A = this chain, B = another copy of it.
Amino acid sequence: MTSSTQTTRLYHTPLSPFSRKVRLVLAEKRIEVELVEERYWENNSELLRRNPAGMVPVLRHDGRMLSESQAICEYLDETNPQPPLMPNSPAERYEVRRLCAWFDDKFNREVTRPILEQRVWKKVTRTGYPDSREVKAGLKAIKEHIDYLTGLLETRRWLAGNALSLADFAAAAHFSCLDYISDVDWDRSEMLMNWYATIKSRPAFRGVLADQIPGIHPAAHYAELDFG
């Protein structure tokens, strides 16, 4: 079997926003993928020990092992141009990359990671009870960030401009993880809720909407397409 006929395989965890971003982009590009769930906290993962980043997601694709979610997504977009998820001009591409970095760095550090750590991972890994101060700080930060994103959507059809892009999938990956545990106050912004309802109704979203984390039930509206 040559490398090019190997199945594309994604090592992921269901509520990792970085894994979800790659899953959404693979689905949008209609690249068939086999999902392998990694329980990296159990520290018995041969794959992750050998991966230089030591974390999910890792994509086996085109005969190589690929890590770092943003590098993977740009590679998938360049090698599978339809539908395009990066705009044509350098200034527009800058804006897509800026927003992806903003979500994966700042939004993750202030919102997604602390909230999931307290409300999901501590339960899954049985390492204690949620620290309510951490959860509160995350829920305070998300309000400011929702207002910032609403400001962007007042002048744009999608987050980085008038075309759907990687920035929307990066954002939707974070919001969908938080929405699973019902930690997005959609009432704060009809504009952002409409943006999320639109991206969530894409066929590419079906996979993540079917996720079930053992012991942690999704919010009632999580997989509903008309949740507004």
Contact present for A91 and B68 (CB under 8 Å): no
Contact present for A75 and B91 (CB under 8 Å): yes
Which secondary structure dominates chain A's binding surface? helix
Contact present for B106 and A94 (CB under 8 Å): no
Contact present for A52 and B102 (CB under 8 Å): yes
Copies in the complex: 2
From B71, B91, B94, B102, A101 is in contact (CB under 8 Å) with B71
Instruction: Say whether, besides A53-B106, A75-B91, A90-B78, A67 and B97 are in contact (CB < 8 Å).
Output: no
Q: Is A41 an interface residue (CB 8 A)?
A: no
* Size category, A interface: 20 to 34
Contact present for B102 and A75 (CB under 8 Å): no
Closest to A69 in B: B101
Contact present for A79 and B90 (CB under 8 Å): yes
Closest to A89 in B: B78
How many angstroms from the CA of A78 to the CA of B67 in the assembled complex? Answer: 24
Contact present for A53 and B94 (CB under 8 Å): no
Chain A stretch 62-107: residues in CB contact (< 8 A) with chain B: 62, 64, 66-68, 70-72, 74-75, 78-79, 90-91, 93-94, 97-98, 100-102, 105-106
Contact present for B54 and A71 (CB under 8 Å): no
Residue from the set A53, A70, A71, A105 with the largest chain B CB neighbour count within 10 Å = A71
Q: List 21 A-B contacts (CB under 8 A).
A: A52-B102, A53-B102, A53-B106, A54-B106, A62-B91, A67-B102, A68-B97, A68-B98, A68-B102, A70-B97, A70-B101, A71-B97, A71-B100, A72-B94, A74-B97, A75-B90, A75-B91, A75-B97, A78-B90, A78-B93, A79-B90
> Considering the complex of A and B, which 5 residue pairs feature the smallest CB-CB distances, nearest first?
A71-B97, A78-B90, A75-B94, A68-B101, A71-B98
